[in-house]
Amino acid sequence: MIEVKGLVKLYGDRKVLHGLNFSVGTGRVCGLLGPNGSGKSTTMDILAGLLGPSSGSVQICGYDVVEQTQEVKEHVGYLPDNPPLYKEMKVIDFVNYVAKLRSIGGKNRKTAVERVIEDCDVSDVTHRVIGNLSKGYRQRVALCAALIHQPKVLILDEPTEGLDPNQILHIRKLIKKIASERTVILSSHILSEVQATCDEVIIINHGHIAAKTSMQNDKTKPLYYLYTFASKTENALHWFQQRNYVKSAKPMSQKNNSILVEFGSEFWADSAGENIANVTEQIVQQNFPLIGIEEKKEGLEEIFFEVIRSQPGHHQAQISPTGEII
């Protein structure tokens, strides 16, 4: 459905995309994850036919974005990071206008407008002025515009940016409902957003694809244990690193008092539960102020940091308490 090969974008001398290669199959929800300025929005603008690539090829539904831009636009619905809304218009007038832009005429237009208003749950605000709506409603109205022509591919740039938790949940549900019938590609710098919505994730950093991962694979990753201490303890970290049954031990970047420990395969070979109990007992004997142990699977957060650490300039990326990559 979406095929990107060697995508490069230059702004003057500045190279913002360095030969991206990826593909997204029909009916999949793919998340583009990366810090601000990593090249997500530029990639999405190119996919939507708004920007031309400097080199490389992008095909959507078999159409080339450079040679067959109009055909691509017919099959793509695009919701940019800043929702394109005329705030002085009423919702119903705005959706009708977008339908006219898409050359949906007569009876078809009426049907399309009613369908999209129903799908995006904005039927209770159809006669209200867009500028007076909450941000969540505005986002849904913008989604109406992206869906009016029933696109096969939906591109959503930061769809939950700036929304409150309730609105985020609502938009997520909506995206999942929409995604059952089409290919969706969404960008975000919020890890939980991508984890909650996507089937696969592409991590972009400095215009490079740093990693691709499937959320299904996530379930098969080895177990980790997160040890949390009452105070910052370098000694505990040092102690873990000296154990030969510990494969790796690293402090969690956003929780300075926590250590993420990965045990080696021999540790799990037999009586794993007993081994964990023994380790805990040893920690207590060492008088480390242990206050909690949490079983963790390797999540996107760990993958993301692993990838970012291996990239130049990795120290710039951090996760805020709300889960945003900053």
Partner 1 sequence: MSVTLAIAERDFKGFFGTPLGWIVACIIFLISGIVFFIVVQMLLIRGQSIDPVADIFGQILNFLNYINIFIIPAFTMKTMSEDLGSGTYRLQASAPISTWSIVGGKFLGVMMYFAIIGILMLLYPLYTVIFTQPDFKVLLSGWLGLILNCATIISIGLFIGSFTRNPIISYLGSAFFILLFIFSGFIPGIPDWYRHSVNLLELSSDFTRGVIKTGSVATYLAIISVFLFLCRFVVESKKWRF
Q: Which residues bind partner 1 (CB under 8 A)?
A: 10-12, 48-52, 54, 70-71, 73-74, 76, 78, 80, 82-86, 88-89, 97-98, 100-103, 105, 145
Of 145, 140, 148, which Cα lies nearest the Cα of 175? Answer: 140
Minimum distance of partner 1 from residue 48's CB (angstroms):
5
Q: Which is nearer to partner 1, 70 or 220 (CB)?
A: 70
Q: Which is nearer to partner 1, 98 or 308 (CB)?
A: 98
N- to C-terminal Cα separation, the chain: 31
Distance, CA of 60 to CA of 294 (rounded, Å): 43
Asked whether the CA dihedral 153, 24, 39, 216 is positive or negative, the reply is positive
Q: Which is nearer to partner 1, 147 or 249 (CB)?
A: 147
Minimum distance of partner 1 from residue 98's CB (angstroms):
7
DSSP assignment letter at 215: T
Q: Which is nearer to partner 1, 153 or 201 (CB)?
A: 153
**DSSP reduced 3-state for 107:** helix
Measured between alpha carbons, how far is residue 247 from residues 193, 250, 268, 298 in Å?
30, 10, 12, 14
Across the beta sheet with 223-229, the strand order is 246-252, 255-263, 223-229, 290-297
Q: Which is nearer to partner 1, 71 or 306 (CB)?
A: 71
Minimum distance of partner 1 from residue 70's CB (angstroms):
4
Distance, CA of 78 to CA of 171 (rounded, Å): 15
Q: Which is nearer to partner 1, 19 or 251 (CB)?
A: 19
HEC string for 227-289: EEECCCCHHHHHHHHHCCCEEEEEEECCEEEEEEEEECHHHHHCCHHHHHHHHHHHHHHCCCC
Q: Which is nearer to partner 1, 85 or 290 (CB)?
A: 85
**DSSP reduced 3-state for 173:** helix
Q: Which is nearer to partner 1, 78 or 288 (CB)?
A: 78
Minimum distance of partner 1 from residue 160's CB (angstroms):
17
Of 97, 77, 195, which Cα lies nearest the Cα of 143? Answer: 77
Minimum distance of partner 1 from residue 21's CB (angstroms):
22
Structure tokens given for 79: 């919701």
CA 177 and chain centroid, separation: 17
Minimum distance of partner 1 from residue 82's CB (angstroms):
4
Measured between alpha carbons, how far is residue 166 from residues 6, 86, 123, 136 in Å?
39, 24, 18, 9
Q: Which is nearer to partner 1, 48 or 184 (CB)?
A: 48
Minimum distance of partner 1 from residue 93's CB (angstroms):
8
Q: E strand or H helix at 58, and its extent?
A: strand 55-60
Minimum distance of partner 1 from residue 36's CB (angstroms):
17
Across the beta sheet with 2-11, the strand order is 14-24, 2-11, 55-60, 63-64
Minimum distance of partner 1 from residue 3's CB (angstroms):
20
